[in-house]
């Protein structure tokens, strides 16, 4: 029930459009920049190039762990903007709507979106809010969130991610990498040959970082898919070039406080070995007084 309730905060049509645009732009920029990298390749800085590529992959893995740890450990689904999103113009009603009780009212600048349910009567449809309220909602960014909610849902229903299609899985990460990839393409078009040769190892770092950041959610999805994976994907997992399934299972042992890196998983053991995450939690708790994983534990306990 808790997983179902969390999954109610689903993407609206505008979110889906954003995901499609992000995927198309990102893939176009990847193809463009890959062509530029191939055309400008030289062995002059080969060791720097290799170092840049490996460093880019490791940076992507660490970034995935940092974001994953932050969302798992801190915050709540009730936090405005980043916690949950009410995606439709009329909002979403609490599951109690179908139980004979009064529906929870979600408001748009105090505009009613769901009338109380009365036995024996069909609830009237709430009037459309004036355009100025819709504009107010957009300006206040009330439905751009759903950042924390998927992390809570994932610990309750880890296989939910396998039911997301390619666009939903990768849309948000594609959006993150559009600007650096666009800047990279601009440099290839505007820099002199000498300047490009000098910055080539850095461009390899940025490209590798962008590729693996973009692929993180897809790699994570593969780590939860036990049937129907292409042979080349399982080969990458077996070689630990991407996150292996057995490796990721360790994170899903309650209380979900270890092995946060979900791109390659290379940094999971060393970061846990030095107590990196526990040290970060101790520092934040000392500074803010907030206890780690309170909201996550509350949601997972409700399913026991």
In this prediction, residue 256 has a pLDDT band, given cuts at 50, 70 and 90, of: confident
HSE, side-chain direction, 13 A CA sphere, residue 231: 0
Same domain, 11 and 147: yes
Same domain, 267 and 118: no
Tokens for 131, please give them. Answer: 């355009």
Last residue of a domain, one of 142, 170, 185: 142
Same domain, 124 and 225: no
Q: How far apart are CA 208 and CA 50, in angstroms?
A: 10
Residue 252 contacts residue 296 (beta carbons within 8 Å): no
How many residues would you count in the chain? 304
How many domains is the chain partitioned into structurally? 2
Domain containing 280 equals 2-87+143-301
Over residues 112-132, the pLDDT tens digits come to: 344 444 555 554 554 554 444
Tokens for 102, please give them. Answer: 């009064």
pLDDT at 21 (0 to 100): 96
Same domain, 207 and 138: no
Contacts of 88 (CB under 8 A, 6+ apart): 12
pLDDT at 59 > cutoff 90? yes
CA angle 64, 80, 137 (to 5 degrees): 115
Same domain, 154 and 290: yes
Select from 203, 205, 201 the least CA-distant residue to 46.
201
Record the pTM.
0.74
Same domain, 219 and 267: yes
Same domain, 134 and 179: no
């Amino acid at each position: 029930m808790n997983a179902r309730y969390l999954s109610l905060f689903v993407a609206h049509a505008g979110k889906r459009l954003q995901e499609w645009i992000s995927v198309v732009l990102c893939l176009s920029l990847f193809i463009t920049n890959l062509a530029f990298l191939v055309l400008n390749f030289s062995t002059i800085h080969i060791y720097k190039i290799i170092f840049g590529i490996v460093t880019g992959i490791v940076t992507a893995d660490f970034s995935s762990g940092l974001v994953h740890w932050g969302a798992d450990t801190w915050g709540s689904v009730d936090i405005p903007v980043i916690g949950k999103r009410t995606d439709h113009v009329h909002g979403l009603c609490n599951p109690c709507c179908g139980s004979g009780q009064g529906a929870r009212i979600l408001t748009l600048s105090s505009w009613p979106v769901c009338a109380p349910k009365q036995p024996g009567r069909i609830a009237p449809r709430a009037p459309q809010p004036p355009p100025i309220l819709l504009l107010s909602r957009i300006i206040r960014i009330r439905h751009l969130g759903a950042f924390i909610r998927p992390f809570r849902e994932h610990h309750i229903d880890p296989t939910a991610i396998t039911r997301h299609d390619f666009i939903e899985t990768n849309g948000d990460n594609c959006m993150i990498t559009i600007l650096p990839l666009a800047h990279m393409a601009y440099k290839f078009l505007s820099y002199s040959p000498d300047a490009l040769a000098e910055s080539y190892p850095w461009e390899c770092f940025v490209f590798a970082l962008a590729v693996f950041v973009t692929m993180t959610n897809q790699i994570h999805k593969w780590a939860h898919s036990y049937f129907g994976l292409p042979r080349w994907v399982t080969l990458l997992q077996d070689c630990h070039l991407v996150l292996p399934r057995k490796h990721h299972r360790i994170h899903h042992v309650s209380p979900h406080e270890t092995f946060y890196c979900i791109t390659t998983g290379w940094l999971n053991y060393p970061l846990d070995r030095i107590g990196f995450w526990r040290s970060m939690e101790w520092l934040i708790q000392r500074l803010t007084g907030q206890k780690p994983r309170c909201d996550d534990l509350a949601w997972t306990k409700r399913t026991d």
